Amino acid sequence: MGTLKGFASPFGPPPATRPHSLRSASPCLVLPGALGALLVASCATPAWPGPSAVSAATRTAADDDDLWALAPAEAELLVWADMAQLRESAWTKAALGKTDSEERAARAAARGFDEVDDVDRLLYATVPPLREGASILVAQGRMDRERLSAAFRRQHPQTTASDYRGVGVLAEAEEAIAFLTQRTVLSGPLVAVRAAIDCGFGLARSAANESWLSALQAMLREGRGPSRRLPAMAAAVRVSPTMRGQLEAEMGEGGTLEQVGARLDLGRDLDVAMVGLVPTHQQATDLAARVSAVLREQRNRPLVLILGLQPILDGVRLAARENRVEARLSIPEDQRAEIADRMALVAQQIARRRASIAGKGEGAVEGSTR
């Protein structure tokens, strides 16, 4: 099966069933269905918290204050979400409530925690340089070690327990979970879990130390003033040759992209910012024109028409600046009720689709993606 194998990918179908596909590693597959609705309603452009400095000194205990700093430096795609903020925001709480209650309860029983109520922050990262298809999921919140351990052992009968740098690890073959702290759990291939533990102890460079990530974060923060409020969601991609080829094959675009970053802020207004970096200004101009054409085409798609999402697509503002394409979307507070209703409707559709897939059985899903 894929890298995270059901339990280790508690927020959707296993992203690693197609290791290098941006589509299969989409945030919509990692986050709960209601959050996938938010991505759709925001033109699929999430957001991220700014990377924080990580001490190079070895620590006596793991530091889990910044989940971004737990992703290995080799990470290529990263998705971060502030679940506590999403639960509380008037923009998103109705959509989160549309998750099918029976399906959600079943997942909670199988995985040892509830993906919406028990998780406050999460980070998902693909790390293919560590191992083909490798990814790491970091969940922080109210983590019950006994429930999590029992859930993992039920799905992995040959589980063995060990310590790595004093951190408890459960593993069967290449699949593992680790209890980094009382509130933070890591899951993924054993090599990725150990790499994340090394980051937590300051023994290895993390994504938070990478200059490309810091540069993207600074670009997306431009024009936002001195506010230090964390965004509700975040994403960053360092486009590898494999990813670039996949983008071109699946979308006919992306051949010049080098990096992509985005952030979503939920205050009184809903604000989305996205930036894509390419080698030259001319390539940025060309890409902005092509994306504009794609948005015009998308607004006439049946699902967009049914859900009434045309105003959102029409509100996206694109510009080419130096060697980057910038996209901005701002929805004012007076439109919140209408947009929140649309998000909830999309969440219902996603929940139904997930239930349909679950009804066909995991084997059917695996067989279709191999």
**Chain segment 218-266, per-residue pLDDT in tens:** 898 887 766 667 899 989 999 988 888 777 776 666 678 899 999 999 8
Here the tokens at position 313 are 């697509």
* Pair 192, 221 in one domain: no
pLDDT, position 115 = 77
Residue 309: inside a domain, yes or no?
yes
pLDDT, position 364 = 43
* Pair 295, 169 in one domain: no
Q: Tell me 299's DSSP state.
A: T
* Pair 246, 199 in one domain: no
Residue 297: inside a domain, yes or no?
yes
Residue 197: inside a domain, yes or no?
yes
Quote the CA–CA distance of 193 and 136 in Å, as a whole number.
7
pLDDT, position 272 = 92
* Pair 193, 76 in one domain: yes
Residue 202: inside a domain, yes or no?
yes
Phi, psi of 365 (to 5 degrees): -65, -45
* Pair 128, 261 in one domain: no
Residue 119: inside a domain, yes or no?
yes
* Pair 253, 352 in one domain: no
More confident residue, 22 or 83: 83
Check pLDDT > 70 for residue 127. yes
Residue 301: inside a domain, yes or no?
yes
Domain count, the chain: 2
* Pair 199, 219 in one domain: no
Reported as a single tens digit per residue, the pLDDT across 169-188 is 999 999 999 999 999 999 99
pLDDT, position 59 = 77
Residue 367: inside a domain, yes or no?
no
Here the tokens at position 210 are 């990478």
Give the CA-trace dihedral at 202, 205, 206, 208, to 10 degrees: 90
Quote the CA–CA distance of 183 and 161 in Å, as a whole number.
19
Check pLDDT > 60 for residue 24. no
* Pair 171, 95 in one domain: yes
Residue appearing with tokens 């901005």 = 328
Neighbours of 308 (CB within 10 A): 13
* Pair 91, 118 in one domain: yes
Here the tokens at position 265 are 């802020």
Residue 370: inside a domain, yes or no?
no
Residue 238: domain span: 210-337
Q: Which stretches of 173-309 are DSSP H helices?
A: 190-200, 211-221, 241-251, 281-298, 302-307
* Pair 31, 128 in one domain: yes
- Most confident listed range (87-91, 316-320, 331-335): 316-320
Average pLDDT over residues 116-139: 92
* Pair 124, 255 in one domain: no
pLDDT, position 199 = 96
* Pair 89, 155 in one domain: yes
Q: Which has the closest alpha carbon to 188: 206, 171, 176?
A: 176
Quote the CA–CA distance of 63 and 52 in Å, as a whole number.
12
Write down the pTM of the prediction: 0.77
